[in-house]
Amino acid sequence: MAVNETVKYGIIGVGMMGREHLINLHHLRTQGVVVVCIADPHLPSQQLALELAQSFDWPLKVFSGHQELLDSGLCDVVVVSSPNMTHYLILMDILNHPKPHHVLVEKPLCTTVADCRKVVNAARKRPDMLVQVGLEYRYMPPVAKLIEIVKGGTLGQVKMVAIREHRFPFLIKVNNWNRFNSNTGGTLVEKCCHFFDLMRLFAGANPVRMMASGAMDVNHKDEIYDGKVPDIIDNAYVIVEFDNGARGMLDLCMFAEGSKNEQEISVVGHTGKGEAFVPESIVRFGSRMEGRDGVQTLKAENRLIKYEGLHHGSSYLEHLNFLSAIRVKGAKTPAVDLNDGLISVAMGVGAQLSIQKGRFVNIEEVLDEHNC
């Protein structure tokens, strides 16, 4: 695709995240980006997206289903931001469509490892399409700065990665789809694939086995939908062992609104330690040799960000990165590929299986058990 050519986007699923993508893409309009169509069966979501687009002076063609959008031939790129349980069928329809569409799919890639694998295999047959997975937390300025510090060797060989997310409960979504494991893949897939992706990135390795403990202890217990009580866990500890000897730990609590930071990340190498804090956007790092007095504190910023949005500018940078990959097709692949999406889901599935079984779960057991 020519550098100056306008890139036309379609968005499948225009709930909260779909509209967030619409706003981010509007902030990229000076880069030759335009959203031309949307697909969503939910009329209130359609209307909200239309009102948003009208405020941007972007006329949208509206479809009730994704297949109609694909068949229209109107767009070059598709953003998939529909509910988790719909990702698999939508992705397979995109990958099997005669017209090539580049794809940015929201996390998680799919709700099961088996479905992720089928998508990966289907994508191999479409070298004319780029598929990026929306694991955008790596683009948050403090996280990106800590990644840079780690990859630069400042901390030495990474031995431990600890990620704490203490936050508010899951938001209300269309038809309350996010209240049930069968729709989301489970909390450790739906929410925590972000953090498992970051662990792999910091450790520079792949997972071997996981041990987890978690439950639904506080949230959603008094909610009933179609006679069913939600089953999504609201807190967990997860330990991950990596193939290079590094260890990761996730501390998740979704009834911790009284927190200064939502995410706190600690990476310890054999010569130093680094930390990132979100949303304070602070990074600290120091060496064993210099001790506490030598710890440096930085305010992490990225001047490329034109819209902070729901994820501290990371969605904007994600789109900027993906647009660059599209424009230099053949010379560049997406920064977050389908394998990253697959492994992040497998780690979440493994952790949930560990809670269920009360024991360590090997990553191969997850892959084998799901016929992968």
Domains 5-134+312-335 and 136-305+340-364 share a fold: no
Strand blocks (E) in 40-88: 61-63, 77-80
**131-134 and 247-253: which strand pairing?**
unpaired
Specify the CATH class of 5-134+312-335 in words. Answer: alpha beta
Give the model's pLDDT for residue 370: 45
* CB-based burial, 336-364: b 16+ in 10 Å, e otherwise: bebebbbbbbbbbbbbbbbbeeeeebebe
Give the model's pLDDT for residue 333: 77
Give the model's pLDDT for residue 328: 84
Give the model's pLDDT for residue 1: 59
pLDDT in tens, 1-39: 556 789 999 999 999 999 999 999 999 999 999 999 999
For residue 335, which amino acid is it? A
Give the model's pLDDT for residue 330: 57
Give the model's pLDDT for residue 372: 41
* Residue ranges in the chain whose pLDDT is less than 70: 1-3, 329-332, 369-372
Q: Determine the topology of domain 136-305+340-364 in CATH.
A: Dihydrodipicolinate Reductase; domain 2 (3.30.360)
Domain ranges of the chain: 5-134+312-335, 136-305+340-364
148 backbone φψ class: left, alpha, beta (φ>0; ψ -120 to 50) = alpha
Residues 104/87, Cβ–Cβ less than 8 Å: no
